[in-house]
Amino acid sequence: MNAPAKPSALLAKDFASDQEVRWCPGCGDYAILKGVQKTLADIGTAPENVVFVSGIGCSSRFPYYMSTYGFHTIHGRAPAFATGIKLANPQLDVWLVTGDGDGLSIGGNHLLHVLRRNVNMQILLFNNEIYGLTKGQYSPTSKQGLRSPSTPMGSLDRPLSPALFALGANATFVARAVDTQQKHMPGVLLRAHAHQGASFVEIYTNCIVYNDGAFASFAEKNTAAEGELVLEQGAPMIFGKDRDKGIRLKRDTLSLEVVQLGVNGITEDDLLRHDETNRVLAGLLAEMRNPDFPVAVGVLYCKAAPAYDTAVHEQIAAARSAKGAADINKLLRGGATWTVGD
């Protein structure tokens, strides 16, 4: 494979393609695009080593806007394409962009399997809780009761939690970011990139046309402090405008509660400290929902495990050293043969 000279000091704009961005004005995806371009610049990878792969949806138009290699595939199947790319060339830095419909409706199975196999890539699921591109039908993450063109009397499906789904799929890295939080996002993306294996990042994004304000209770300037818990490894779980609230474990029921610091003698020491290697904790955090709880963002779970694509190529290397150089003529003559004389 090519080992290109590392370009020095890449800027976010070096990762922007010449294509006009065609999301609706005000769509949350613009902010994610900015965040990703910044992250790539921070990482400093050469654009030619990066591949963006996506399915179909507004979010899945993403690759066209990056100056890297890009493959806008078909609806729901991006994880399989991405897996194929990594199997062909594990050196490539693969980023997968999908939506809540693309990734969890038609593509749920592929997402499940790429996560459990732990193929080395970053998976960004743009969750706007709606089908944007097809004009506003409810999605598997839409809140129950949503009225949409296909559910005029309100949707009846119980929504999936992408993070909980990923944990159930045996994912090794599960994180969350928010379109509006440009300062926070690159940190999460950097962590995802650093992780060996399938790094799953749910990004809340506002579809201004069909589901405006779906995350208003925590994703806006004036609601973030109260509505959100920013996770940090080892740190006590504190949130609130005045940093006066925290999360405590109710040990006997294996559940969480919100407590007020300073009230009833509660101190930081009573609070849960984030341990991103604990899957059970991650599951509890994933289930925190407004208004009873703050929504947890940041790295919910991260646990080292061998990457699938690496292991595949180790087997190939092992076979080559065990069986010797491949020789087609030898292959054809292996096993029982006989000669017919002239």
Partner 1 sequence: MVTSTAIQLEPTGTPREEVESVVVRFAGDSGDGMQLTGSQFTLATALAGNDLATFPDFPAEIRAPIGTTFGVSAFQINFGARKIATAGDAPDVLVAMNPAALKVNLVDVKAGGTVIIDTGTFSDRNLKKAGFGSNPLEDGSLDGYQVVTIDISKLTMEAVKAYGLSNKEALRSKNMWTLGLIYWLYDRDRETTTNWLRGKFAKRPDIADANIAALDAGHIYGETAELPGGMHGYSVLQAEITPGLYRTITGAEALAWGLAAGAKLANLRMVLASYPITPASTLLHILAGMKQFDIVTFQAEDEIAAVCAAIGASFAGSLGVTSSSGPGIALKGEAIGLAIGVELPLIVVNSQRAGPSTGLPTKTEQSDLYQAVFGRNADAPLVVLAASSSANCFDIGIEAVRLATKYMTPVMVLSDGYMGNASEPWLIPDFDSYAPFPVAFADHEQIGAEGYLPYVRDEKTLARPWARPGTPGLQHRIGGIERADGSGNISYDAENHQRMTNLRAAKINGIANDIPLQGVEQGNESGKLAVVGWGSTYGPISRAVGNMRDLDHDVSHIHLRHIWPLPRNLGDLLAGFDQVLVPEMNNGQLVTLLRAQYLVAAEPLNKVNGQPFKIVEIEAAIQSRLDREFGEAK
| Binding residues for ligand SF4 (CB under 6 A) | 23-24, 27, 29, 58, 128, 132-133, 207-210
- Least Å from the CB of residue 329 to Mg ion: 40
Question: Would you count residue 212 as binding partner 1 (CB under 8 A)?
Answer: no
Residue 158: name its binding partner from a second copy, ligand TPP, ligand SF4, none (Cβ under 5 to 8 Å by kind): a second copy
Residue 262: name its binding partner from partner 1, ligand TPP, a second copy, none (Cβ under 5 to 8 Å by kind): none
Give the count of residues interacting with ligand TPP (CB under 6 A). Answer: 17
Residue 312: name its binding partner from Mg ion, ligand TPP, ligand SF4, none (Cβ under 5 to 8 Å by kind): none
Question: Would you count residue 80 as binding ligand TPP (CB under 6 A)?
Answer: no
Which tokens go with 339?
């000669």
Residues 150-179, interacting with partner 1 (CB under 8 A)? 150-153
> Tokens 């089908």, residue?
131
Q: Cβ distance 199 to 122 under 8 Å?
A: yes
With respect to partner 1, which residue has the nearer C-beta, 72 or 248?
A: 72
Stretch that binds ligand TPP, among 32-40, 86-94, 127-135, 311-319 (CB under 6 A): 127-135
Neighbours of 50 (CB within 10 A): 19
User: Please, which residues have CB within 8 angstroms of residue 306's CB and are 6 or more apart in sequence?
Assistant: 118, 196, 197
**Cα distance between residue 168 and residue 156, in whole Å:** 23
Q: Rounded to the nearest 10 degrees, what angle do helices 78-88 and 308-323 cross at?
A: 40
Which tokens go with 278?
């604990």
Question: Would you count residue 88 as binding a second copy (CB under 8 A)?
Answer: no
Question: Would you count residue 302 as binding ligand TPP (CB under 6 A)?
Answer: no
Q: Cβ distance 172 to 302 under 8 Å?
A: yes
What amino acid occupies position 89? N
- Least Å from the CB of residue 206 to a second copy: 24
What amino acid occupies position 145? G
**Cα distance between residue 22 and residue 29, in whole Å:** 10
Residue 134: name its binding partner from ligand TPP, Mg ion, ligand SF4, none (Cβ under 5 to 8 Å by kind): ligand TPP
Residue 29: name its binding partner from ligand SF4, partner 1, Mg ion, none (Cβ under 5 to 8 Å by kind): ligand SF4
Question: Would you count residue 77 as binding ligand TPP (CB under 6 A)?
Answer: no
**Cα distance between residue 162 and residue 285, in whole Å:** 12
Question: Would you count residue 289 as binding a second copy (CB under 8 A)?
Answer: no
With respect to partner 1, which residue has the nearer C-beta, 85 or 247?
A: 85
Residues 51-70, interacting with Mg ion (CB under 5 A)? none
Q: Cβ distance 207 to 132 under 8 Å?
A: yes
Which tokens go with 12?
């976010």
Residue 208: name its binding partner from ligand SF4, Mg ion, a second copy, none (Cβ under 5 to 8 Å by kind): ligand SF4
The tally of CA atoms less than 13 A away on the side-chain side of residue 258 is 18
User: What DSSP letter does each residue of 162-217 carry, written as one string?
Assistant: HHHHHHHTT-SEEEEEETT-TTTHHHHHHHHHHSSSEEEEEEE---TTTSTTTTHH
Contact positions toward a second copy, by CB under 8 A?
Answer: 105-109, 112-113, 116-118, 140, 153-154, 156-161, 164-170, 249, 251, 253-255, 278, 280-281, 283-284, 305, 308, 311-312, 315, 318-319
Contact positions toward Mg ion, by CB under 5 A?
Answer: 99-101, 128
